[in-house]
Structure 1
Amino acid sequence: MPTLAQAPARANEPQGRFLRPKVQVGEIIDYELSFAHAPSLDVIFPDSTAAFKPFEYVGKTYRPTRTRQGRSLDRTIYHLRTFSLDSVQQLSVPVTILRGNDTLTVATPPAVVRLARTAPIAQAEAPPVLRQDTALLPVASEFNYPYVLAAVGVLALAVAVLGLGFGRRLQQRYLRYKLRKNHVYFLAQYARHVERFTLSRSLTNMERAITLWKNYLTGLEDNGINSLTTKEIVALYQNDPDVRHALRLADKVIYANQFMEDEAETDLAFTMLRNFADRRYQSTITNYQLPSGT
C-alpha cells in the first residue's frame, strides 16, 4: 500500500515534487518539475494551458537548461493553489519529448501534498427535531416559452448577421495568431539548437538548426525549401546576402567538416538565418490575406 510520501523516482523520466508537505486552501504552493535527459532530446514542459487539477495555475519560474557531463537538466517551478477540500491531493503533469516528426508524452509520477485545515472539526450532534408544516406555499408562475423562443431566434439572427459581416475578419485574426505562436515556438527551438552547437560544436546540432529553419520557412511561405539545395534556396530568395553567406558557410562546416577558426563567424551565420526568418515572418503577417473563397 503506497504511503503519502513522494512516489519513488524513475530513471530517465521527468520528476515532479511539491516543495512543502502541506498547503492551506487558497494558499500558493510551489511544484518543481525537473527532467535530466540526453542533450539531443527536445523537451517541452507544460505551460499555463495545461491541466493542473485539482490545482490552479498561478505562475512559474523558469530555470535555464544546464548541460554537464553529457546530461542536460531542465527545471521549472510552478506556482499553484488549490480550493479542493480533499485531505490528500496529488498532481501529475505531462512532459512532451520531440523526436523528429513524432512526439512522446511522458507523465511524472504523482506527487502528493496534505491539506492543512484551519477550521476546527465540528462535533457530531443529534439531528434536529422535525416539525410538521402543512401550510400551502406559493407556486411560481409558468415559464413563458414563446417569449424565450422568440428571444433565442432574434439572438441567433443577430449572430448570423455578425458572422457574415465579421466572420472573415475574425478568421483572419485567428490565423495571424497561429502564425505568431508558430514563430515564437520556432525562435525558442532554434535558440536551443544554436546553444547546443555552441557548447558541443557538434555538426548534428548545426544540421538540426538549419533543418528547423528550412521547415519553418516551408510552413510559413508554403514554398517547399526543405527539399531544395543551397543554390536553389539562394536563387529563390533572389540572392539575399544573409541567406547566401549563412548557408554557404553552413555547407562548408557540415559537408566539408571545415570549422571556422573564428567562432564569431559561425555565430554570425546563425544570426543571419534567424534575422532572415524574422523578416519573412514580419512581411508575411503584415501582408497576410485569407485565400479567396475562404
Structure 2
Amino acid sequence: MPGGARGGWLVALLLLLVAGAGSAQAQNGLPLDSVPRGRFRQPTVRVGEIVEYELSSRHAPRQEVIFPDSAADFAPFEYVGRRYTPTRTRQGRSLDQATYRLRTFRLDSVLTLTLPVTVLRGRDTLLVPTAPASIRLVRTAPATPISGPPVLRQSLALRPVPARFNYPYWLAGLAGGLLLAGGLVLAFRSRLRQRYRRYRLRKNHVYFLAQYARHVERFTLSRSLTNMERAITLWKNYLSTLEHTNITSLTTREIVARYQHDADVRLALQLADRVIYGNLFTEDDTETDLAFVLLRNFAERQYAEVNA
C-alpha cells in the first residue's frame, strides 16, 4: 500500500477512536455512567398483575437528581405505588434507587416503558430519559381463530326477576302519613291534651287510693302512729299535686280554712291530731278509722271536681 494511502487510513481510524471515546464520555451532557437506567424485575407479566420496575441513577454527590412521582406518565402502565432506597455514596459516586409498582391492562405482546429523570444544574433542569425497558405479556385466555361473529341463539322465555323494595313510594307514603298525623294533632290538639290530662289524673288517683289503702291496712294491723302519719302525709301530697298547691307545710287550722271549713276535713284532721299529738289513743278506738274514711272521701270529691 502506498505511504500516502496508509497515512490516510491511520488518520481516519484515529478520528473514529476519538469520536467513540467522546460518545462514551457523555450522553445529554452527562457521563455515560451517570445516565439513569430502568429495568423490570421479571421478564413477563399478566393483565392486571403487579409488576416492579427498578430505576437507578449514579451521579456526583453534589448533583441533584429527581425521580418521577405518581403524576408522571407511566403509559402503557398504571401507577400503583413506589418505595425509595436511601442514597448511598461510595468512592466519590452516589447511587439513587427507586422501585415502582405498576400494572397494565393493555393486550400488546411486548410492553415498553421509559421514564425521564430530572437533573438540576443551577437554575436549569435537564430531562434525561432512560433506555426503553421491555416486558412480555403472558396471555391466559386461549387463542381462538377469528371466523366471524358467534351465532346467537334466540330465547323469548321470561326470566324470573326478584322484587326490589320501592323506596320512593314508601318514603312518599311515610311523608304523607306524617303530614296527616300532624294535621290531626293540630286539629284536635285541645281534645288530645284534655284526654291526656284526664288520663294522668286517673292514673295518679288510682295510685293514691292503692297506697292510701296500704297505709290504712298497716295501721289497722299494727296500730302504729307512724303508719297514720304516713297516710295523712300521702293525703296532703296527693291534694297538693291534684290542685297544684302546697298544703304539706300548712297546719290543721290553715288546711281547714283552705277548704272553707269543710266538716269532713275538720273532723278527720282533729281526730288525727288528737291521736298523734295528744297521744289520746286506745286499742279499740274507732275514731281513727272514721278519720281515714273521711279523708279518702274528701280526696275522691276533689278528684271528681278537678276531673270535671
TM-score where L is the length of structure 2 = 0.46
Which fold has the larger relative contact order, with Cα–Cα distance below 8 Å and residues 6 or more apart in sequence?
Answer: 1
For the pair shown, the structure with the greater C-alpha radius of gyration is: 2
Structure with bigger helix share is 2
